[in-house]
Amino acid sequence: MSQKKPLGFTNAEGKAEKVLSSKEKLKATLTAAIAKAFNQKEKLKSVWDDFQTLFRLINAWLKKEYTEVPWKTILYAVTAVIYFLNPLDLVPDFIPITGLLDDISIIGFVINSIKKDLNLFLDWEKEQNIEETDV
């Protein structure tokens, strides 16, 4: 996680810390992000599978089913979700074609930053016989 943080990431990270302080806020944020992701599935196809893994990781952590994850990993995962939910981030989502590109770049940055922990989570899911499906 030593890569340089992309523009807009630090602001979203601060918001993620606040969301993580409340189970209810985190649950509502996750629910909203999943709904938005499904509405934008075609545009998110380059990161779809990994983004779904992020959602499942956060959900399993929230439910205290999977707790063997560093705090920074959860923070980064929630930061990606917060950034994705913000319609007025660096490139507003309503701008045709490019509106979600910055979101995808942030999601990609997070996925690359926490890839080792995501792979450990996927291994845990396999051990639990949890199918990798869309959230």
pLDDT average, residue stretch 43-51: 93
Q: How many folded domains does the chain comprise? A: 1
Print the domain residue range for 102. 9-127
| This prediction's pTM | 0.87
Instruction: Judge whether 55 and 37 are in contact, CB under 8 Å.
Output: yes
Inform me whether the pLDDT recorded for 54 exceeds 80: yes
Residue 134 maps to a domain: no
- State the burial class of residue 116 (Cβ atoms within 10 Å of its Cβ: 0-12, 13-18, 19+): exposed
Look at residue 3 and tell me if it is in a domain.
no
**How many percent of the chain have pLDDT more than 70?**
84
The confidence score (pLDDT) of residue 22 equals 96
State residue 32's pLDDT score: 95
Do the domain assignments include residue 84?
Answer: yes
